[in-house]
Structure 1
């Protein structure tokens, strides 16, 4: 083999890469047309039976060509998700549920506020962001929501949790004519604001999008919906997400924070404790990365994501949830139990702990 042979083979690879990209673009274009037909026929964007058939067909072709089923499935699932993202965006844009309506996003320069700004804009709303900070992407912007009339059809409160609590109470004094919806991760501090809005006759609902601002496809994602007594506001929220593939989960106000103490508070605390203990262990990061295991790598990836999040928001999630301390105490008790087993050389109890956890997690993962 010569240098010329190497260059020739690389040129062939480059040509194949180009063909793959062009084929992916063609597939994307076809998915848009399929999505439009589904809308006309009033069918949902996602068809799990069809996806299963696509995966089975792809695996048969891949197997005949010597490709592993894991590689084939990952490739096809990535293409499917890309197609679904396009179909979902097109469905939201086509429905134009916000046509001739206006929306104000208070705190809209934050990452989730910006997500909602783009989402509502694609649904046909004329939007304006109220935030001391300038939003990205040149979105319409004012510094203070108190400087404008509150006669828009929808107001989204997307500020930090403590700030949102005050904003809701202040909004009640202005009695906006449209619906008010917050997106906070913790609801306990917002209760006085909810009560004030209801007493003022304002249509109010509360939601918690269980996804971050980088999410493009809402399939498999959940939006928790809290009915605060206004069918107008609750119905509006449900209608907005109806063209998407997000799953709307109704939940009571108090139950929300109990759940979030586990889902957010516990998982965040666990990962913060992990990378804190790792740092305090004194091992050089380079050595750890060279000697890592699959379990360590997986945990490190999750912890790295947590460490990159907004620490002020994460503190509020821990500190403002009235049910948070019980979750932290449960974590502390679990670590103490493991330590007790190790120090006393109690293998039986240690094995029982792992077996019980395995059974619990199997049952949890089997839920639809």
Structure 2
């Protein structure tokens, strides 16, 4: 076709029809891939092979990127597509493995706060791995699980008790559990540990099987590939091992921390990231009429930051306040950030290009350093 000639309506229609065929073929191939993934997952289940094979994942991605680039297709696009496919494949294998694990078969679990967002996630997860799950929660809300209105009177019925209430009342509930001395494993899933330190220690002192757990993801997660679960030892190694075993059939990465380490890390991972994004969103909101204009002429960096900030400010503001206010390390981290921020603005104000450049280059070296590969 002559390069200067435009397409006729029939030619354009034919090209669009061909695109539809290609898109259908892509979806069909994804379905075929998922069917093969299911077969591989069944093999892993029967042989006890680990859910993740990091070397194989890298091989698949590297080969796909090389093939894409050889065909003139963006390697970044190929990487994103393959990473998405691998994530969903792992999620499918994970769900299959969980259902067949029978980890909680014949056991009962109580989730205190089981109608909250993470409480519901925990309840669904325990149900998937075979537990008979009850929930205790004053919230008037429908639930597929049996509700317990007086959990204190039946606490010894349970092999596992999970505390999934907001941070503020968590410590009181842990103290009450220490008084009741339940026979089952007890752990909380709070975002901070220092506000409930005395409750956790009271349970340990009472001889209870107790540890602390922090799922580092939201309630909408299905597959846990690439997600982290933190386990905090409060003096009972057997309880910690039992809690870890509960998630052994997932693709999540499990990390052990002390009580002190947990909240120090959270001051950076949650506290600082929340604070920066809330400040960013608040500054934009106070700009008033400029917001619609900024959306229209924004850069890729701005759009990426805006997307994260919008997600953060849509979350529970009371929980996010507790994460800031309840962490003893917040002040130290905020002061460090303020110092860096002041240095950067000073560099601009006084024309210190060398200082600005050194700050960016140092940050790039540290942030861009590749972490060690998984097993």
* Structure-2-length-normalised TM-score: 0.91
Instruction: Report the CA distance between 1:214 and its aligned residue.
Output: 2.0
Instruction: Report the CA distance between 1:162 and its aligned residue.
Output: 0.9
Instruction: Report the CA distance between 1:282 and its aligned residue.
Output: 4.0
Match of 1:179 in 2: 185
Instruction: Report the CA distance between 1:131 and its aligned residue.
Output: 0.9
Q: Which moved more, 1:330-339 or 1:203-212?
A: 330-339
Paired residues of 2:229 and 2:253 also in contact (CA < 8 A): yes
Q: The residue matched to 1:138 in structure 2 has which SS?
A: coil
Match of 1:39 in 2: 45
User: Alignment partner for residue 287 of structure 1, among 264, 268, 293?
Assistant: 293
Q: Does 1:141 align with 2:147?
A: yes
Match of 1:158 in 2: 164
Total equivalences in the alignment: 367
Paired residues of 1:129 and 1:135 also in contact (CA < 8 A): no
User: Alignment partner for residue 357 of structure 2, among 326, 333, 351?
Assistant: 351
Q: The residue matched to 1:224 in structure 2 has which SS?
A: strand
Written as runs of structure 1 = structure 2, the 5 A alignment for 1:242-257 is 242-257=248-263
Match of 2:341 in 1: 335
Distance 1:110 1:56, change over 3 A: same
Written as runs of structure 1 = structure 2, the 5 A alignment for 1:1-368 is 6-59=12-65, 61-63=67-69, 65-134=71-140, 138-146=144-152, 148-363=154-369, 365-368=370-373
Instruction: Report the CA distance between 1:347 and its aligned residue.
Output: 2.1
Paired residues of 2:44 and 2:50 also in contact (CA < 8 A): yes
Q: The residue matched to 1:259 in structure 2 has which SS?
A: helix
Instruction: Report the CA distance between 1:137 and its aligned residue.
Output: 5.5
Q: The residue matched to 1:44 in structure 2 has which SS?
A: coil
Q: Which moved more, 1:10-19 or 1:269-278?
A: 10-19
Give CA-to-partner distance per residue, 1:282-330, whole Å, 9 cap, x none. 4521110111112111211211111111111110000001111111112
Counterpart-to-counterpart distance in 1, 2:154 and 2:12: 66
Instruction: Report the CA distance between 1:148 and its aligned residue.
Output: 3.4
Paired residues of 2:178 and 2:203 also in contact (CA < 8 A): yes
Counterpart-to-counterpart distance in 2, 1:345 and 1:66: 43
Instruction: Report the CA distance between 1:23 and its aligned residue.
Output: 2.5
Paired residues of 1:206 and 1:228 also in contact (CA < 8 A): yes
Counterpart-to-counterpart distance in 1, 2:301 and 2:338: 22
Give CA-to-partner distance per residue, 1:313-364, whole Å, 9 cap, x none. 110000001111111112222222222222222222222222222222234x
Q: Which moved more, 1:139-148 or 1:95-104?
A: 139-148
**Structure 2, gaps ≥5 residues long:** 1-6
Instruction: Report the CA distance between 1:143 and its aligned residue.
Output: 4.3
Q: Which moved more, 1:5-14 or 1:284-293?
A: 5-14
Paired residues of 2:90 and 2:251 also in contact (CA < 8 A): no
Q: CA RMSD in A?
A: 2.1
Counterpart-to-counterpart distance in 2, 1:70 and 1:198: 50
Instruction: Report the CA distance between 1:236 and its aligned residue.
Output: 1.3
Counterpart-to-counterpart distance in 2, 1:64 and 1:350: 39
Q: The residue matched to 1:49 in structure 2 has which SS?
A: helix
Paired residues of 1:223 and 1:247 also in contact (CA < 8 A): yes
Distance 1:306 1:58, change over 3 A: same
* Structure-1-length-normalised TM-score: 0.92
Paired residues of 1:108 and 1:117 also in contact (CA < 8 A): yes
Paired residues of 1:205 and 1:234 also in contact (CA < 8 A): yes
Counterpart-to-counterpart distance in 2, 1:279 and 1:351: 30
Distance 1:283 1:359, change over 3 A: farther
Paired residues of 1:105 and 1:117 also in contact (CA < 8 A): yes
Instruction: Report the CA distance between 1:250 and its aligned residue.
Output: 1.0
Paired residues of 1:264 and 1:317 also in contact (CA < 8 A): yes
